[in-house]
Amino acid sequence: MKIKTNLLFVGVGLWALLLTSCFEDSSSANEPTDTFDASVVCPADGVNAYGEPNRGTFTDARDGQVYKYTTIGNQVWMAENLKFDAPYSACYDKIDGFCDTFGRFYSLREDGGQFGLLDRDLLDTVCPAGWHVPSMDEWNVLANSMGVGGPAMARLKSSERFDENYEPGTDDCGFSSLPAGEMFKTGDVSGAYRFDVYWTSTAMDLQSTYAPSLNSYRGISFGQGAAKMVLRCVKD
């Protein structure tokens, strides 16, 4: 009887180990693997689908402003925030040089309001010729190109430490996302040197739009856009 009991315990123990091993293997198999390779996703050298260098500059014919751009996957993005003096746009002048680095804050809604329908004429003309305001889908394509896990959004963020509370990124693709924050109707700015928040052309409802926020820990998330935000254009 004692031998049978011992054999039973051994059998149960082996079965438990087998189940544990299966669960661990299943869990590991379900974990996403980060295979990001900047030399593949966003090589600094070479030519993109437009026949242009993967990284370079272009000039906005409207005001002579020169912008850097970068190629990530099949997309070509401005590598700086827009600075064009469009209707309802504003510079934040309470910090010296802020507008030169972070660009202007824009409202793309009718009459420049905090809530309301998108101003389609302004939406179609605010970016330089050959460029447009990115949709929510285009932002998601960009985010998905950067890999998975915590490092993904850090790869888009500027490597410059603007403030002791700002965690700089690695800027693997030269996108150099900037923590400009967002502007209220009063002209005050919230989140300067902390939040990377941008415009999209995608309406959330009749009163608001989706706005992507890039976070090194949470990835990309979409919330309700503020009264005025900065803008990155993507090539047509």
pLDDT per residue as tens digits for the range 164-223:
878 899 999 999 999 999 999 899 999 999 989 999 999 888 778 888 888 877 778 888
Quick one: 52 and 80 in the same domain?
yes
Residue-number span of the structural domain to which 182 is assigned: 38-235
Quick one: 139 and 180 in the same domain?
yes
Contact 66, 58 (CB under 8 A): yes
pLDDT score at 127: 98
Quick one: 70 and 155 in the same domain?
yes
Quick one: 16 and 122 in the same domain?
no
pLDDT band at 19 (very low <50, low <70, confident <90, very high): very low
Quick one: 199 and 226 in the same domain?
yes
What's the structural domain count of the chain? 2
pLDDT score at 2: 42
Rounded to two decimals, the pTM is 0.84
Contact 115, 98 (CB under 8 A): no
Quick one: 127 and 148 in the same domain?
yes
Quick one: 156 and 202 in the same domain?
yes
Quick one: 86 and 157 in the same domain?
yes
Identity (one letter) of the amino acid at 127? C
Beta strands in 37-179 (DSSP E): 55-59, 66-72, 75-78, 131-132
Quick one: 5 and 49 in the same domain?
no
- pLDDT of 27 > 80? The answer is no
- pLDDT of 135 > 50? The answer is yes
Quick one: 6 and 27 in the same domain?
yes
Quick one: 22 and 138 in the same domain?
no
Quick one: 84 and 14 in the same domain?
no
pLDDT band at 17 (very low <50, low <70, confident <90, very high): very low
